[in-house]
Structure 1
Amino acid sequence: MVQSTLLYAQSGGVTAVINATASAVISEARRRKVKVLAARNGILGALREELIDTSRESISAIRALAHTPGGAFGSCRVKLKSLEADRDRYARLLEVFKAHNVRWFLYNGGNDSADTAWKVSQLAQAFDYPLTCVGVPKTIDNDLAVTDTCPGFGSAAKYTAVSVRECALDVAAMAQTSTKVFVYEAMGRHAGWLAAAAGLAGAAADEAPHIILFPERAYDQAAFLAQVDKVVKQVGYCVVVASEGIRNADGTFVADAGGAADAFGHAQLGGVAASLAGTVKASLGYKVHWALPDYLQRSARHIASKTDWAQAQAVGKAAVQYALKGMNAVMPVIVRSADAPYRWKIAPAPLSKVANHEKTMPASFIRKDGFGITANARKYLAPLIKGEAPLPYGADGLPRYVTLKNVAVKKKLPAWED
């Protein structure tokens, strides 16, 4: 009898803890005697029949995944269209699933990935193929609907808060004769969760960050410059945190990178910190420095949040359990049951309620002047960055991360040409 297979794939931008989810998926499946294949580079690997045999990896290697950043099997930014518009791709997926007796499909990603998992579940039903699809949450943007938070966000939030606090100490030391304004750019296209997390760096009125710019509020250049000038004159320096997705009143991105778009159809952003720094320098004459941490925000495993690390593993374990129970088209989400002390649990949510829905910052989380976070935001954010998730270091002083062998299974179908 041919053994049934679970196919796992990673999608979209990776995080500091997505491999912790992968480790939990593989470990739980092994415990239940289920074979796990991993698609190389997300859904592309499934289409190309580039499937990795995770049984060729040692127990120690799979355990080491839990503290290794990046995407161990490769990821991609590919969004499948409707069943009608992308019929050839869906037909190919079904051929690959049949060829390798895939009965469970776990897709680990954000909004677009949840949509793909949902569509694949519809495909299986339409062709009466026995497949259970489970979406697995991941994104540093924290914009997935239904779930209280999303694995990947807590660690990126911790990195952001720590970095802003440390940079603020640097600026404060130099402000008398040098830099007066520092601008830090945080990821966040439509939702300002990461920018908000920077607010945890300081609590008192004069503590950095002094200004936070959110995508949820229209950018007003005159009001921004007036606030910068006010803070510098009052405190001696000003630390600004700006989300990459801040928009002008007409809806255009302040940092639209030349109109380019990524594979998901999203405008390519970047450079808002440089833009704001130039504006401050030209308008107010202050010496300005700026930083674009970019990938550092999502790859910084060395400063991962223990809460985030635990939640990343919990959703992976639950995803396998849901799949083996035949719970089709669901996603394990995080449910907060208490703030102090912080309590959470995992529960299933329909993919239809997650896919293509975006969770932005509630109005109650943003100060009335639009330049900072409220007490409600602090209450929500603070538990998510708590605790450390230690990792092993080598004699060279660097973390000991793992690189898997990623041995591919033999292909059974003709090559795929998209």
Structure 2
Amino acid sequence: MAKQNAFYAQSGGVTSVINASACGVIETARKHSDQIGTVFAGRNGILGALTEELIDTSALSDETVKQLRHTPGGAFGSCRYKLKDIETHRTQYERLIEVFKAHNIGYFFYNGGNDSADTCLKIAQLAESMNHPLKAVHIPKTVDNDLPVTDNCPGFGSVAKYIAVSTREAALDIESMCATSTKVFILEVMGRHAGWIAGAGGLAGQGEGEAPHLIIFPEIPFDRATVMARVDDCVKKYGYCVIVISEGARYADGTFLADAGTTDAFGHKQLGGVAPTLAGMVKQDLGYKYHWAVADYLQRSARHLASATDVAQAYAVGEAGVKLALEGKNSVMPTIVRTSDTPYRWEIGEACLSDIANVEKFMPRDYITPDGFGISEAGREYFEPLIQGEDYPPYEKGMPVYIQLKHQLAEKKLPDFQP
């Protein structure tokens, strides 16, 4: 078969290691230049394909590509853009295939989470119906760690490390001042429906009385009276209380504690402000002095504190995605398979996109303590290996050295298209 080009795109919220996956894709494709021609990257994700803004990565030196491995953010630009329903907006999907045909693209690597897995599957199916030979492979990425089948998701291990470390450091701060100052500290973390990131905060403490004293998961219905009683008990017993709360914390009826009243491009409710909401309850019900913080983008962009395990896995799924495509696989996703807990070992597997798309993986109940406010030994056994090891970026004058790419676009061959 004649050599074809590849298209790679980054989707959704970026991570501190998503560029390591990009590095894995590009470097592996270059090692197989007899089968893969140019690797194009979508400028601002899938939008780059629709608008035919294709970044020519062949213009990047090997050294520049190598530096992607330690650079956070999305080097080629990402987007929160949901393709419309294929039945009613078929022309949008057909546009993608037309761009692929015009640029001889036979390989599609889409680096993202649940929604992008669905997009990748739909594009693969449409390409087949339009008789365009396309190998579509989803490269897993999400800090939320909620993709099914795979043991964990690249991007999560580094967020978990950041939250665990931040919780421990903040707890030492609060403990040292609690006699005369703040009694309750609340850290809000990401996680709309799944409490994986909040659970990682539990790694900060090892024993009785150590922070965090409460973890509030989306999977456990929030009961104000129970939570306030627990906070009060902690302050009286230890002098202070540290809480890690997921942005997706909700009441028994499914209502979010902090629903912003808007939705994003994918129809998901926009959340934010659960920490001040909970702080208001503490003030009203208990009267304790409090402080709260929102990890927000800091948790997903902190490459200086990345987990070495996470960096290795992010690169590996990018590498594996290319190899799966070259093996003729289509509509698949490389997965991380845990083969041993002690010592921790993992390998790359694969899964069908039909088993991945639009399916969320939640925290197992046995990873959470019986009272619903902490992680169990089973949870700790799951989390701990994922934050292991340090993979520091190079530093210069006290600052990490990251790269910002100059996007050299390929010449357009089709009429303009309005997404």
Q: How far 1:3 sits from its partner (Å)? A: 5.0
The 2-side partners of 1:83 and 1:264 are apart by: 15
Matches for 1:169-184 after TM superposition, within 5 Å: 169-184=172-187
Deviations 1:309-362 (A, max 9, x none): 000000000001111121000000000000000010001110010111100000
Instruction: Look up the match of 2:141.
Output: 138
The 1-side partners of 2:393 and 2:367 are apart by: 33
Give yes or no for the alignment of 1:118 onto 2:139. no
The 2-side partners of 1:86 and 1:167 are apart by: 49
Instruction: Look up the match of 2:206.
Output: 203
Q: Is the 8 A contact 1:332 1:346 kept in 2?
A: yes
Give 3-state SS (helix, strand or coil) of 2:101's partner.
Answer: helix
Instruction: Look up the match of 1:223.
Output: 226
The 2-side partners of 1:345 and 1:86 are apart by: 39
Give 3-state SS (helix, strand or coil) of 1:349's partner.
Answer: strand
With the length of structure 1 as denominator, give the TM-score of the two structures.
Answer: 0.98
Instruction: Look up the match of 1:288.
Output: 290
Give 3-state SS (helix, strand or coil) of 2:108's partner.
Answer: strand
Deviations 1:362-398 (A, max 9, x none): 0101111111110000000000000001210012x10
Matches for 1:330-345 after TM superposition, within 5 Å: 330-345=332-347
The 2-side partners of 1:251 and 1:32 are apart by: 49
The 2-side partners of 1:278 and 1:363 are apart by: 28
Deviations 1:41-86 (A, max 9, x none): 1111100000000000111110000000000000011122442122
2:321 corresponds to which of 296, 319, 322: 319
The 2-side partners of 1:329 and 1:82 are apart by: 19
Q: How far 1:103 sits from its partner (Å)? A: 0.2
Q: Is the 8 A contact 1:53 1:408 kept in 2?
A: yes
1:238 corresponds to which of 237, 241, 247: 241
The 2-side partners of 1:3 and 1:203 are apart by: 55
The 2-side partners of 1:318 and 1:252 are apart by: 40
Q: How far 1:2 sits from its partner (Å)? A: 7.8
Q: What 5-or-longer segments of structure 2 have no aligned partner?
A: none
Q: How far 1:31 sits from its partner (Å)? A: 1.0
Give yes or no for the alignment of 1:266 onto 2:275. no
Instruction: Look up the match of 1:347.
Output: 349
Q: How far 1:262 sits from its partner (Å)? A: 0.5
Give yes or no for the alignment of 1:60 onto 2:63. yes
Instruction: Look up the match of 1:104.
Output: 107
Instruction: Look up the match of 1:186.
Output: 189
1:95 corresponds to which of 90, 94, 98: 98
Give yes or no for the alignment of 1:307 onto 2:309. yes
Q: How far 1:186 sits from its partner (Å)? A: 0.8
Give yes or no for the alignment of 1:32 onto 2:26. no
Instruction: Look up the match of 1:398.
Output: 399
Instruction: Look up the match of 2:409.
Output: 408
Q: How far 1:14 sits from its partner (Å)? A: 0.1
Give yes or no for the alignment of 1:8 onto 2:14. no
Instruction: Look up the match of 1:153.
Output: 156
The 1-side partners of 2:213 and 2:186 are apart by: 10
Give aligned-pair identity as a percent. 61
Deviations 1:127-167 (A, max 9, x none): 11100000000000000000000000000000000000000
Q: What 5-or-longer segments of structure 1 have no aligned partner?
A: none
Q: Which amino acid aligns with 1:4?
A: Q
The 2-side partners of 1:281 and 1:362 are apart by: 32
Give 3-state SS (helix, strand or coil) of 2:107's partner.
Answer: strand
Instruction: Look up the match of 1:83.
Output: 86
Q: Which amino acid aligns with 1:388?
A: E
Q: Which amino acid aligns with 1:270?
A: G
The 2-side partners of 1:252 and 1:379 are apart by: 31
Q: How far 1:205 sits from its partner (Å)? A: 1.6
The 2-side partners of 1:390 and 1:340 are apart by: 25
The 2-side partners of 1:404 and 1:317 are apart by: 21
Q: Which amino acid aligns with 1:72?
A: A
- Number of residue equivalences: 416
Deviations 1:161-214 (A, max 9, x none): 000000000000000000000000010000000000000000112000000000
The 2-side partners of 1:267 and 1:10 are apart by: 22
The 1-side partners of 2:192 and 2:80 are apart by: 15
Q: How far 1:403 sits from its partner (Å)? A: 1.1
Q: How far 1:405 sits from its partner (Å)? A: 1.7
Q: Which amino acid aligns with 2:157?
A: G
Instruction: Look up the match of 1:328.
Output: 330
The 2-side partners of 1:114 and 1:64 are apart by: 27
Query: Please, which moves more after superposition, 384-393 or 80-89?
Result: 80-89
The 1-side partners of 2:153 and 2:285 are apart by: 39
Cα RMSD after superposing both structures: 1.0
Deviations 1:214-262 (A, max 9, x none): 00011100100000000000000000000000111221110101x1000
Q: Is the 8 A contact 1:83 1:123 kept in 2?
A: no
The 1-side partners of 2:9 and 2:88 are apart by: 23
The 1-side partners of 2:317 and 2:185 are apart by: 37
Give 3-state SS (helix, strand or coil) of 1:28's partner.
Answer: helix
Instruction: Look up the match of 2:418.
Output: 417
Give 3-state SS (helix, strand or coil) of 1:107's partner.
Answer: strand
